[in-house]
Amino acid sequence: MIVIKLVNLPNINEKYNRNVGNVLLVKMANATKEILGEDNIYIRYSGLRFIVFAKNSTAEIVQPKVENLLSKYKQVYE
């Protein structure tokens, strides 16, 4: 299980507007599926969080993918 929290989303919604926050959220969700794969289970939880159930994986397998995902998030965020 991977938990991803988008801590800056409320600030983005407040500073720019909710539409910008929603576009960013969709881009982050698409990047997550692109990096982690389509065959996992994805849940948006509590507005700011994604929970990903990585099927047939271990922490050792998922960890490099999560590091890659964080790099991708930085690109999308900028």
Instruction: Read off the pLDDT of residues 2-59 as tens digits, 9 standing for 90 and up.
Output: 999 988 889 999 999 999 999 999 999 999 999 999 999 999 988 889 899 999 899 9
Radius of gyration of the chain (CA): 13
Predicted local confidence at residue 46, as pLDDT: 83
Return the pLDDT at 77.
Answer: 74
User: Kind and range of the H or E element at 52?
Assistant: strand 49-53
Q: 48: which 2 tokens?
A: 């700011």
Q: Measure the CA–CA gap between 18 and 10, rounded to whole angstroms.
A: 9
Residue type, position 76, single letter = V
pLDDT value, residue 75: 87
DSSP 32-73: HHHHH-TTSEEEEETTTEEEEE-TT--HHHHHHHHHHHHHHH
**Structure confidence at residue 54 (pLDDT):** 93
pLDDT value, residue 45: 87
